[in-house]
Amino acid sequence: MYNPPSFAVEDAAGVRALLDAQGFGHLVTVDADSATPSATAAPFLVDEGLRTVWLHLARANGWWRQADGRAALLIVPGTDGYVSPRWYPSKAIDGKVVPTWNYEVVHVHGTVRVTQEASELRAIVAALTDRFEAAQGAPAWSLDDAPDEYVDTMLRGIVGVELTVERIDAKRKLSQNRPVDDVRGVVAGLRAPAGPRSPAGAAAATAQRHRLADAVEDANRHR
């Protein structure tokens, strides 16, 4: 990953926050025979020490058949969005501004282990469920709420994936390289109403722009 120092996230707490904020990523491997990249997408869990990632896939998803023992890259995208040069006060000084794109992303490098062991699969599914149900409020749904025989049947339809982490590269490109006044202009621009859209599209665009504005403010708060 190209990751200039002003954008790099190097502390474990910052990396953890980016991973926890998403919980969904794209796992990429390269087929040894054809050198063709192959990817699959799934929700994931990371252990407290950022050493192991767990996820599961449908058994019918052929990705896992060529992935066991291979190096892999888990790409976890965060918030992102367009930044217009119109938002920079410095535009009025010499006009030397151009558009850019702000974004957050984490790349987790490691080695894949595929498991079909029922006890491991149950543990992965239960842990993923508990994590995401915790954000839904009470009463949380638990794997124990479903009949055992039904869960066993469903587990036979998946495989588990464990990624042993070897390196993590995390990046927040959020206008940290711009003057403070330009950063304030970016935040104001993102919080302004978007252009004409359908009502549903406008709501989604507004929410995304506000999330990005929050991220820009957070990244630049202690400059």
Instruction: Quick: pLDDT tens for 65-95.
Output: 999 999 999 999 999 999 999 999 999 899 8
Name the residue ranges covered by the structural domains of the chain: 8-179
Instruction: Quick: pLDDT tens for 90-129.
Output: 998 998 899 999 999 999 999 999 999 999 999 999 999 9
Q: Which CATH class is domain 8-179?
A: mainly beta
Q: What percent of the chain has pLDDT over 70?
A: 97
pLDDT at 198: 62
* SS3 of the chain: CCCCCCCEECCHHHHHHHHHHHCEEEEEEECCCCCCEEEEEEECEECCCCCEEEEEEECCCHHHHHCCCCEEEEEEEEEEEEECHHHCCCHHHHCCCCCEEEEEEEEEEEEEEEECCHHHHHHHHHHHHHHHHCCCCCCCCCHHHCCHHHHHHHHCCEEEEEEEEEEEEEEEECCCCCCHHHHHHHHHHHHCCCCCCCHHHHHHHHHHHHHHHHHHHHHHCCC
pLDDT at 31: 77
